[in-house]
Amino acid sequence: MPVMSEPALESPKPDVRLTSIVSMEELSGRPSRPVDYAAESGALVALARVMATSPGEILQRLAETALDLCGAHSAGISVLERTDQKKRFHWRAIAGRWSSHVGGGTPRDFGPCGTVLDRNAPLVFSHPERDFPYFAEVRPLLEEGLLIPFYVNGEAIGTIWVVAHDASHRFDSEDLRVLTNLAIFAGAA
């Protein structure tokens, strides 16, 4: 996604329902793939090795792991940083079809990542351009995205996310479980 300049965008009012959010009830009602503890365990061991030997690579490896374990088309890590007074989410790692957008970001107060932190909960978005028009310019388009907040010392500082770019993949409760575990790892990393 392109880095947005300081936009003259109006943020939705806090009490306005965002039309792009898919309910967690719908997500939990979808058919779910079987749990693969062996794949998840192997991936977490590999991540621990990277963290111990090459900590500078851990965010990218987390994105790659989320992509693989969730069968997503793109995956990434969005982080708030002090360099801009936490006004933007910075995409420090992206794997998959959106990998060319690494280094991009979205405004803290006007985007899916900010909404996830505001609500302090995982969220699924479908066609977020309905609520956040700048997503209409991003290629490939986002059909559906699952975002999970992660925390450092109890403070939400970013999101880990997976994206489907077409209707061939829909996220389920197993993706939510796996990504939640990876979010815990992201906070430690």
Domain count, the chain: 1
Q: 91 φ, ψ to 5°?
A: -90, 95
SS (H, E, C) 134-159: HHHHCCCCCCEEEEEEEEECCEEEEE
Number of CB atoms found within 10 A of residue 79's CB: 21
Q: 62 φ, ψ to 5°?
A: -60, -45
Q: What is the pLDDT of residues 121-143, one digit of tens each?
A: 999 999 999 999 999 998 999 99
Q: What is the pLDDT of residues 80-110, one digit of tens each?
A: 998 999 999 999 999 999 999 999 999 999 9
Confidence at residue 7, expressed as pLDDT on a 0 to 100 scale:
34
Q: What is the pLDDT of residues 148-172, one digit of tens each?
A: 999 988 889 999 999 999 999 999 9
What average pLDDT does the segment 171-176 reach? 96
Residue with tokens 């959010």: 21
Residues recorded for the chain: 189
pLDDT at 13 over 70: no
Examine residue 116 and state whether it is found in any structural domain, yes or no: yes
CATH number at residue 95: 3.30.450.40
Domain that holds residue 64: 21-188
Residue with tokens 């559906």: 144
- pTM, two decimals, is 0.88
Examine residue 99 and state whether it is found in any structural domain, yes or no: yes
Examine residue 3 and state whether it is found in any structural domain, yes or no: no
Of 15-19, 53-57, 164-168, 179-183, the one with minimum mean pLDDT is: 15-19
Q: Rounded CA gap, 149 and 179, in Å?
A: 10
Examine residue 12 and state whether it is found in any structural domain, yes or no: no
